[in-house]
Amino acid sequence: MARIAAFFATVALVLGGVAALDWWVDPFDDRYDPAPLAAALAQPRPCFVGWDVFSTRAWPELKLDYFRRRDARVVVVGTSRAGKIGALPGELQFANLNVPGTGPETLAPLFRRLHSMGHGRLTVYLSVESFWFGRGWRTQASFTHSYLRSTKYLLSTQTLHATLDELRQAPGAIRHPRALRAWGIFRRRGGRCVVSRGNTVLAGAGNTWAPDGELWYNEEVTGAPRPHGQPIAALEHGGYVGSRLDPGRVDALEDALAVARGYGWRVVGTSLPYSDYWRVRLARDSATRGVVTAFARRMPGLFARYGFRFLDLTNVRSVPCGAHSFSRFDGGHPDVACARKIRRLLDAAAAS
């Protein structure tokens, strides 16, 4: 019995040592570091924050930090399609909390985290996606801390190998592990600055988060010509496929709305525009028609049950925006000018 106990104690000691080493070095930036955002917002003219500073795993905590540091009372929640809905001139208590991979299951945990931060009654502009409710969608963002996911990360062979590779290349990193992935403040002519790892963003190699949490593509920061991106309706095609809305995800959305109502928040839901080509194609395709039609039919009544407005802006002309008012001509991410019009409609709905 003593030998068995000694064996398990040895195993626990080894695994604990591996986990501690991986946590300290953190080769994939699993832990959120608040210092880059603090430095960005502390500048006389706040800086953009490059995507290269944080791993995607840290984005939810980054957005919560935006919310805290801006003392936000108005927030935008959704996927990257809501990324351009920004603060009004001089509006400081606003934060865009869009995170690519956000889904219905993300919302209630996010709302509870926001409420726990004590900012009082919020106005929430919630961008809801029809592709959340089809067979092929998988929510990727999470605002809850999962001890199981953290344990898997800390004990995975991939993490350990990356840790050992870093220490072989730079043994001194054991004292200051983040020194190998140092960030700095880089400026371009005209005064715009970016917190980044190296001058990668201003050199044209990465996207950014704006000082209010908006998503800014690289060319919007650098002034390079706007490229053609992959249409989101094609990228997320499997999410639209099905004959009805997934009941579990509808329940998750309703759970979030019930939480918001319980907090006394003002919520305005919306479905954001698509280009005419993709809107019509999704509505006519036999594989996607069921989900898209059911989504348009159910969302206004679903939000109304909780006392909230829902704006169906799927038709780009209802904003109105132009046929090409989309970032990277992708037919699904409204650009800056279109997003300003969307913001006015959301503000009007919140005030009514």
Residue-by-residue DSSP string for 257-317: HHHHHHHT-EEEEEE--B-HHHHHHHHH-TTTHHHHHHHHHHHHHHHHHTT-EEEE--BGG
Question: Of the candidates 323, 279, 262, 270, which has an alpha carbon nearest to the alpha carbon of residue 300?
Answer: 270
Residue 261 lies in a domain: yes
Residue 175 is assigned to a structural domain of this protein: no
Query: For residue 258, which amino acid is it?
Result: A
For the four alpha carbons of 230, 143, 257 and 74, in that order, the dihedral sign comes to negative
In a domain, 158, yes or no: no
Give me the pLDDT at residue 173, please: 57
Would you say residue 299 has pLDDT above 70?
yes
Taking the C-alpha atoms of residue 207 and residue 21, their distance in angstroms, rounded to an integer, is 31
pLDDT at 156: 66
- Kindly report which listed range (14-18, 72-76, 206-210) carries the lowest average pLDDT score: 14-18
Domain interval for residue 296: 35-143+182-351
Stretch 84-99: mean pLDDT:
97
The answer to whether position 59 is within a domain reads yes
| Bridge partners of residue 76, in order along the sequence | 96, 125
Q: What is the enclosing helix (H) or strand (E) of 124?
A: strand 123-127
Read off the tokens for 320.
């109105």
96: nearest Cα among 87, 104, 107: 87
Q: What is the DSSP letter of 94?
A: E
The reply to whether 6 falls in a domain is: no
Section 174-202 average pLDDT: 80
- CA angle 340-320-253, nearest 5°? 70
Residue 177 lies in a domain: no
The total number of structural domains that make up the chain: 1
Helical packing angle, 289-305 and 276-284, nearest 10°: 100
Residue 312 has a pLDDT of: 98
The pLDDT of residue 31: 75
Tell me the C-alpha distance between 293 and 279, whole Å.
11
Inter-residue contact 342 to 272 (CB < 8 Å): yes
Predicted local confidence at residue 168, as pLDDT: 67
Give the span between the Cα atoms of 89 and 51, in whole angstroms: 24
Kindly state whether residue 172 falls inside one of the protein's structural domains: no
Asked if 112 and 259 count as a contact pair (C-beta separation under 8 A), the reply is: yes
pLDDT at 217: 96
Collapse the DSSP code of 8 into the 3-class scheme (helix H, G, I; strand E, B; otherwise coil) and give the result: helix
Domain assignment present for 331 = yes
pLDDT at residue 213 in the model: 98
3-class secondary-structure state, position 95 = strand
Q: Which secondary structure element, helix H or strand E, spans residue 215, and what is its range? A: strand 215-216
Angstrom distance (rounded) from CA 310 to CA 153: 39
For the ranges 190-204, 301-315, 324-338, which has the lowest average pLDDT?
190-204
Task: State pLDDT tens for residues 110-167.
Answer: 999 999 999 999 999 999 999 999 999 999 998 876 555 556 555 567 665 555 665 5
Q: The pTM is what?
A: 0.89
At residue 192, the pLDDT reads 87
Give 23's pLDDT tier (boundaries 50, 70, 90). low
Q: So what's the pLDDT on residue 179?
A: 55
CATH of the domain at 194: 3.40.50.1110
One-letter amino acid of 126: L
Whether residue 204 has pLDDT greater than 70: yes
Q: Average pLDDT of 191-200?
A: 89
